Structure 1
């Protein structure tokens, strides 16, 4: 082929040599875009550490007993594709196919996402004839399941596979995961797997937004998951952790859920980790450590377990414990390079050990993970960093800058309150030292502004501006607060 057909490759496909159909590469791609599979779900390589997620899938295949194996292989195939290993991706799809028995009445339903992945992978391998063949297989299955209730079963399976894929890809996809599971639940409100998936997604969304979150929606989702999928010990641990964040009257219910989960999943590293998190928050550190040490024997490359062990030893706060915390936190970031929460705690432990260069390196590393760091972790980072600058480097301005960043993150957490308390102390100290220094009044005005005390904020900003008439920051702040009062 020459000329324009180089970019618009003509393909010859068909059922026989008499009735041939000619399509272009572009039209094939348009056809493939209508398939429901990992290649069309807008999953981006930059949103995950491929090798780490791949390891996690290996662990899940071994320890999450009820997880459909063909789905795991589908996901692994897509991860291999993202890594550029097309042959290995094809091998994973073949393994997915081996998991589906022809005797299964829902075999074709289970194949539809897998066939879509086949079609796309072959397309990227420039095997357009086979790619089109798999697209035909998908279309044939869809035709066989056009009518309810069979159509509903097909959609439920697709939404479920889509939801779990979104959960694997991290925090930027949690809302999409929840929507996928919810779409499936429209067809079957009691579906066990969909309820577990939706409860898990709602818990993760709530964790990102904590403490500014409505408990009721997450509670309902997790309670339904426990009700309709009682064999899923994982959602019981999530419900316990959810209860733990709420009023005291839920404490006993939380303990009951954890005990049930441990009885069901005492050999699952995921259950052990969540249960350990629960006990650590209950100040039962030794119990938490025992659970985590057992979990490590099951999954020695699971970074989150090492992070939790680091948190446990941080809580013990002895010299030996701090050393152990550093050891485990270093292991966590070795296993999972994009792990801002672990870097923040590691930096804090280095400060405690007076290893200041190492602490600063950890802080800068966490700060640089702009896509991965959550608001809560970022707030904690700048609180700890500010404390370090103030208490160890005696760098007043740097401390102020970090406390301000923590405060400007509008999450009503203990860390934000601590940052405000530090800044109030600095402002008081500055004004006490020199009543003609504008900085103290400017800081106090900033604090009042963040606490919603606009009139007092304006008063202090004006004092600061009188002392520094050319200061644009104070002038803009006055204008901003006055605008808020007029609204």
Structure 2
């Protein structure tokens, strides 16, 4: 089972191209002196430690430059710092200042092929919006668990959706998934209660 179909990937990329951010502004690697640009941005960051809004913008640019240089984890760190500083410094209108950083983060996650978060969020949305979408939620949770088998959140969601959809007694798959979810969520009393109900039915 693939993590994302060709159609889904194409649609996602089309949506990403609509974002206003460094990744869509045609800032081409071959037209930039990346070493000089990196030095200037790092110097600017050093001189703006007391001014959070300006530092946030610098970190946003640094994130993109680090991506161009092949340092994706550094890029992610800078973009996350940018978001944090923007929230701290733009208390009254931070949403509009977060549009570009969030766009950069979305593109970076796409470049890194971090589809598990997308699939997980999609699964939870299907699960929470209507019982009509339970089967879609189940499929998404199954896909995301192929990527992150021991993720606590995805195991929990999959257990919930199985409990809602597999009503025959006993449902071995539901019981096994509830146990798996409890292993990754040992403090979740709701999961324990659901397991007790299922075991009582068996």
CA contact (8 A) 1:61 1:69 kept: yes
Q: What is the alpha-carbon distance in structure 1 between the residues aligned to residue 57 and residue 120 of structure 2?
A: 21
Q: Return the match for 1:38 from 12, 16, 22.
A: 22
Q: Return the match for 1:120 from 103, 107, 128.
A: 107
Is 1:60 the counterpart of 2:16? The answer is no
Q: How does 1:68-147 map to 2 (within 5 A)?
A: 68-101=54-87, 104-130=91-117
Partner-residue secondary structure (3-state), 1:100 = helix
Q: How does 1:318-397 map to 2 (within 5 A)?
A: none
Cα deviation, 1:246-285, whole Å, max 9, x if unaligned, reads xxxxxxxxxxxxxxxxxxxxxxxxxxxxxxxxxxxxxxxx
| CA shift for structure 1 position 133 | 9.1
Give the number of the structure with larger relative contact order, counting CA–CA contacts within 8 Å between residues 6 or more apart. Answer: 2
Residue aligning to 1:205: none
Is 1:25 the counterpart of 2:20? The answer is no
| CA shift for structure 1 position 45 | 0.7
CA contact (8 A) 2:34 2:65 kept: yes
Q: Mark the CA change 1:72 to 1:59 in structure 2 (over 3 Å): closer, same or farther.
A: same
Partner-residue secondary structure (3-state), 1:121 = helix
Q: How does 1:169-248 map to 2 (within 5 A)?
A: none
TM (norm. structure 1) is 0.22
Is 1:10 the counterpart of 2:1? The answer is no
Q: What is the alpha-carbon distance in structure 2 between the residues aligned to residue 91 and residue 78 of structure 1?
A: 11
Aligned residues, how many?
118
CA contact (8 A) 2:79 2:101 kept: yes
Q: Mark the CA change 1:44 to 1:29 in structure 2 (over 3 Å): closer, same or farther.
A: same
CA contact (8 A) 1:118 1:131 kept: no
CA contact (8 A) 1:120 1:131 kept: no
Q: What is the alpha-carbon distance in structure 1 between the residues aligned to residue 45 and residue 120 of structure 2?
A: 30
Q: What is the alpha-carbon distance in structure 2 between the residues aligned to residue 112 and residue 133 of structure 1?
A: 22
Q: What is the alpha-carbon distance in structure 1 between the residues aligned to residue 59 and residue 118 of structure 2?
A: 19
Q: What is the alpha-carbon distance in structure 2 between the residues aligned to residue 93 and residue 41 of structure 1?
A: 17
Q: What is the alpha-carbon distance in structure 2 between the residues aligned to residue 54 and residue 131 of structure 1?
A: 31
Q: What is the alpha-carbon distance in structure 1 between the residues aligned to residue 56 and residue 120 of structure 2?
A: 21
TM (norm. structure 2) is 0.52
| CA shift for structure 1 position 132 | 8.1
Partner-residue secondary structure (3-state), 2:87 = coil
Q: Mark the CA change 1:131 to 1:71 in structure 2 (over 3 Å): closer, same or farther.
A: farther
Q: What is the alpha-carbon distance in structure 2 between the residues aligned to residue 28 and residue 82 of structure 1?
A: 21
Q: Mark the CA change 1:25 to 1:123 in structure 2 (over 3 Å): closer, same or farther.
A: same
| CA shift for structure 1 position 51 | 2.0
Q: What is the alpha-carbon distance in structure 2 between the residues aligned to residue 129 and residue 33 of structure 1?
A: 21
Partner-residue secondary structure (3-state), 1:42 = coil
Residue aligning to 1:239: none
Q: What is the alpha-carbon distance in structure 1 between the residues aligned to residue 107 and residue 119 of structure 2?
A: 9
Cα deviation, 1:172-228, whole Å, max 9, x if unaligned, reads xxxxxxxxxxxxxxxxxxxxxxxxxxxxxxxxxxxxxxxxxxxxxxxxxxxxxxxxx
Q: What is the alpha-carbon distance in structure 1 between the residues aligned to residue 21 and residue 82 of structure 2?
A: 14
Q: Which runs of 4 or more aligned residues in structure 1 lie more than 4 Å from their structure 2 counterparts after TM superposition? A: 64-67, 131-134
